[in-house]
Amino acid sequence: MAYKDEKLHEEKVFKDPVHRYVHVRDRVIWDLVGTKEFQRLRRIKQLGTSFLTFHGAEHSRFNHSLGVYEIVRRILVNFDGRPNWNREERLLCLCAALLHDLGHGPFSHSFEKVFKLDHEDYTRAIILGDTEVHQVLAKVNKDFPQKVADVINKTYQDKLVVSLISSQIDADRMDYLQRDAYFTGVSYGHFDMERILRVMRPMEDQVVVKESGMHAVEDYIMSRYQMYWQVYFHPVTRSAEVILTKILHRVKELYHDGYAFKSEPVHFRSFFEEDVSLEDYVRLDESVVLYYFQMWAEEDDPILSDLAYRFVNRKLFKYVEFNPNLQMKEWMALYRTFQEVGLDPDYYLVVDSSSDLPYDFYRPGEEEERLPIHLLMRSRELKELSRQSEIVEAISGKKRTDHKLYYPQDLIERIADDVPGKRKILDILKQANQ
Ligand code: CA
């Protein structure tokens, strides 16, 4: 029997708190799960620094990847035998679902910003490079690794296949919304996925939803909207993210200045040089990063040791609403006064705007618009969701940006009262908070 058709003697099941069970029958899928590059995802958290806000949010990209696979598997069971659906694409969809996040590194958002990396490049590199994942995929067929990479890259010719993995209502989002809601413990994020899966239909170039499923899809859109503002953009999570980013900036700067580290940051050297091989990349996971943070908390450089200590021990920055575009004068005054009192503003005065974070919500008509969701009407015509649903229309196309200013309240308070800058800083921050 061809490797691509091989089934396990007995179905394997993973217990899963969100989908109850994840079912695996295909030998290829089972072999992929066993590769070291996939196992590595156990050591990358799905929600980065969110665990410092929601203590339950320790789940990994391994959990999420299995979940996305399971959702696609269930969708395809429903697609079987329907017009427009080519059974030959089944294994490709399952592999792309399972592997779509393979190239994520530790705390991806900060790392990508500071070291100018793109996890999508590494997903491709792992699938196409000299890796265990590649060996498994190439056993299916020598073109197969490239096909999987193309689906994840959204360049695969069959757009229906692509839309299962990335569209406004794809398996990726359906999994992370529910999983992140479950592990953070919030009450948003829940919607009737079983209902949505039952009313999904394959069309030539996209998955559409039968008109009768509109309310379930509305729920999904709303849960998304709430999760972004209540969980993903939570100001405390962003405080941890700000500190993390500044640690990386500091350590990179010290490296380039020839600073003598007490212990050499060997795992980071190629990141500092911005020349990261695949091998270096997959070697760095969150357990390694957190080990270094503990080491750096002991360094002589006061900024690095302070920031690392803060991250490890959750001594986060405080924040106020602050829009630097509208509060330019205050910004300049704060920046100058921070310098005067000996707090480096490049590390201790940070504006974060949540629209800078690489998430987007349902916004038809904007440049970043992904494939819109289409309803399949009884008349067989397709209608874009926000034209049919007033609820979705109400939140569509409205971009909201949240600006916050982060600063170390404890260090400011520790400044002696007779230092003139102290009062000034506290006054400006107090006013900004009103
Ligand atoms: Ca994902």
107: domain CATH number is: 1.10.3210.10
Q: How far is the CA of 64 from the centre of ligand 1 (A)?
A: 7
Q: How far is the CA of 371 from the centre of ligand 1 (A)?
A: 17
Q: How far is the CA of 291 from the centre of ligand 1 (A)?
A: 26
Domain boundary among 197, 232, 267: 232
How many Å apart are CA 149 and CA 396, to the nearest integer?
A: 31
Please give the model's pTM, rounded to 2 decimal places.
Answer: 0.94
Q: How far is the CA of 47 from the centre of ligand 1 (A)?
A: 10
Q: How far is the CA of 403 from the centre of ligand 1 (A)?
A: 26
Contact between 319 and 208 (Cβ < 8 Å): no
Question: Residue 359 above 50 pLDDT?
Answer: no
Q: How far is the CA of 36 from the centre of ligand 1 (A)?
A: 19
- Considering the domain architecture, whether residues 302 and 419 belong to the same structural domain is answered as yes
Contact between 271 and 28 (Cβ < 8 Å): no
- Considering the domain architecture, whether residues 243 and 221 belong to the same structural domain is answered as no
Domain interval for residue 268: 235-354+402-432
Q: 154-200 pLDDT, tens per residue? A: 999 999 999 999 888 899 999 999 999 999 999 988 999 999 999 99
Q: How far is the CA of 100 from the centre of ligand 1 (A)?
A: 7
- Considering the domain architecture, whether residues 83 and 163 belong to the same structural domain is answered as yes
Domain membership of residue 106 (yes or no) is: yes
Report the CATH number that the domain containing residue 290 is assigned in CATH.
1.20.1250.30
Q: How far is the CA of 169 from the centre of ligand 1 (A)?
A: 13
- Considering the domain architecture, whether residues 266 and 182 belong to the same structural domain is answered as no
For the beta sheet containing 200-202, the strands, ordered from the edge strand earlier in sequence to the opposite edge, are: 200-202, 207-210, 374-376, 382-384
How many Å apart are CA 261 and CA 307, to the nearest integer?
A: 16
Q: How far is the CA of 221 from the centre of ligand 1 (A)?
A: 17
Say how many domains are in the chain: 2
Domain membership of residue 245 (yes or no) is: yes
Q: Give backbone dihedrals phi and psi of 262, rounded to 5 degrees, phi first.
A: -60, -40
Higher pLDDT, 357 or 243: 243
Q: How far is the CA of 410 from the centre of ligand 1 (A)?
A: 37
Going by C-alpha positions, the residue among 180, 186, 178 that lies closest to residue 219 is: 178
Which whole number is the average pLDDT over 325-331?
A: 90
For the stretch 304-307, contacts whose Cβ atoms lie closer than 8 Å and that sit 24 or more positions apart, written own/partner, are: 304/247, 304/250, 304/251, 304/254, 306/411, 307/243, 307/246, 307/247, 307/250, 307/347
- Considering the domain architecture, whether residues 258 and 329 belong to the same structural domain is answered as yes
Higher pLDDT, 139 or 398: 139
What tokens were used for 9? 């003697």
Q: How far is the CA of 165 from the centre of ligand 1 (A)?
A: 9
Q: How far is the CA of 298 from the centre of ligand 1 (A)?
A: 35
